[in-house]
């Protein structure tokens, strides 16, 4: 069975994929490209937490066979956001790693349900959570199966979509002993800021990245302006590896 240690053996852990799984073709096309660029795991939302009910809500379980096909074709691991306890059961046998989105970090019914599943869980930080609240959420699941994901918090700084709290991520890593990866896409809100935020996180000593990548970002069904193209992601991976080597050696 896949464990958190297996994931962390990839240093830095690189996760990439679209905001949402949209069609079979796009899932496969994007997955093959991020695999070739060096990603270890594919991310794609099947259920999307959208601000408005009119927005694309995700394809749901219809996307599971697309992920199975992608895994067979590329050998990538796959990660999906669960929003309700039922999603845990529905993803069994296909999805390797589950993640909890920022809007659900304190959805205690969901966290308790995750406690009973053996898979590793990536736990995003809610928009305004303190360190104590964030680690408390991890304890509901079981700390040793959790990788924390800093994805930006709400502050008075409004130049970017959210404020990436690298300092807070380092405190979580150093003082609580948790692995912490960075999602640079949601705090950036725009593609050109994703590489510098990623490099800053790796230079700081954080454990990996979860990056939104789409073959045609402007045609995507959500988060259009922040998704990198596969070419931009490939370039980022090269630079991330260089920064990682400069920091830790080979």
Q: 3-class DSSP state for residue 163?
A: strand
The dihedral region occupied by 52, where left means phi > 0, alpha psi between -120 and 50, and beta the remainder, is beta
Q: Which of 4, 26, 186, 244 binds ligand PEP (CB under 6 A)?
A: 186
Task: Identify which of residues 7 and 245 has a Cβ nearer to ligand PEP in the complex.
Answer: 7
Rg (CA), the chain: 16
Residues 61 to 90 in contact with ligand PEP, rule: CB under 6 A: none
Alpha carbons 181 and 15: distance in angstroms, whole number: 10
- Which of Mn ion, ligand PEP, none lies near 232, with the C-beta cut-off 5 to 8 A by kind? none
Q: Which of 15, 19, 21, 113 binds ligand PEP (CB under 6 A)?
A: 19
Contact segment (CB under 6 A) with ligand PEP among 31-39, 95-103, 107-115, 196-204 equals 95-103
Residue 40 binds to ligand PEP (criterion: CB under 6 A)? no
Residue 44 binds to ligand PEP (criterion: CB under 6 A)? no
CB of 9 to ligand PEP, least distance (A): 23
Residue 60's alpha-carbon distances to 67, 97, 109, 201, in angstroms, are 12, 16, 20, 32
Do the Cβ atoms of 2 and 120 come closer than 8 Å? Answer: yes
Residue 151 binds to ligand PEP (criterion: CB under 6 A)? yes
Question: Which residues neighbour 30 within 8 Å (Cβ) at sequence distance 6 or greater?
Answer: 17, 18, 42, 213, 214, 215, 230
- Quote the tokens at residue 214: 């789409």
- Which of ligand PEP, Mn ion, none lies near 101, with the C-beta cut-off 5 to 8 A by kind? ligand PEP
Q: Which residue is nearest to ligand PEP (CB)?
A: 101
Residues 193 to 232 in contact with Mn ion, rule: CB under 5 A: 223
What is the CB neighbour count within 10 angstroms for residue 247? 12
Residues 3 to 62 in contact with Mn ion, rule: CB under 5 A: 19
Q: Which of 101, 120, 184, 208 binds ligand PEP (CB under 6 A)?
A: 101
Q: Which of 140, 120, 115 is closest to 15 using CA atoms?
A: 120
- Which of Mn ion, ligand PEP, none lies near 208, with the C-beta cut-off 5 to 8 A by kind? none
Alpha carbons 41 and 125: distance in angstroms, whole number: 20
Q: Which of 97, 102, 137, 202 binds ligand PEP (CB under 6 A)?
A: 102
CB of 48 to ligand PEP, least distance (A): 7
What is the CB neighbour count within 10 angstroms for residue 57? 16
Question: Which residues contribute to the site for Mn ion (CB under 5 A)?
Answer: 19, 223
């Amino acid at each position: 069975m896949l464990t958190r240690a297996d994931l962390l053996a990839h240093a830095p852990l690189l996760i990439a994929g679209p905001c949402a799984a949209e069609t079979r073709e796009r899932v496969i096309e994007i997955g093959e490209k991020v695999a070739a660029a060096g990603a270890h795991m594919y991310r794609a939302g099947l259920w999307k937490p959208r601000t408005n009910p009119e927005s694309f809500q995700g394809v749901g379980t219809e996307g599971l066979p697309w992920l199975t096909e992608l895994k067979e074709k590329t050998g990538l691991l796959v990660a999906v956001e669960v929003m309700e306890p039922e999603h845990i059961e529905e993803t069994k046998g296909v999805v390797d790693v589950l993640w909890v989105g920022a809007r659900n970090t304190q959805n205690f019914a969901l966290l308790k349900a995750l406690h009973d599943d053996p898979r590793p869980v990536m736990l995003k930080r809610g928009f305004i959570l303190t360190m104590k609240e964030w680690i408390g959420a991890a304890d509901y699941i079981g700390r040793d199966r959790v990788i924390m994901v800093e994805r930006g918090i709400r502050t008075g700084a409004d130049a970017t979509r959210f404020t990436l709290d690298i300092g807070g991520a380092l405190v979580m890593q150093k003082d609580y002993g948790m692995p912490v990866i960075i999602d640079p896409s949601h705090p950036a809100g725009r593609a050109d800021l994703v590489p510098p935020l990623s490099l800053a996180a790796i230079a700081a000593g954080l454990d990996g990245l979860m990056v939104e990548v789409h073959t045609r970002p402007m045609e995507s069904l959500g988060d259009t302006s922040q998704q990198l193209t596969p070419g931009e992601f490939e370039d980022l991976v090269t630079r991330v590896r260089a920064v990682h080597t400069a920091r830790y050696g080979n």
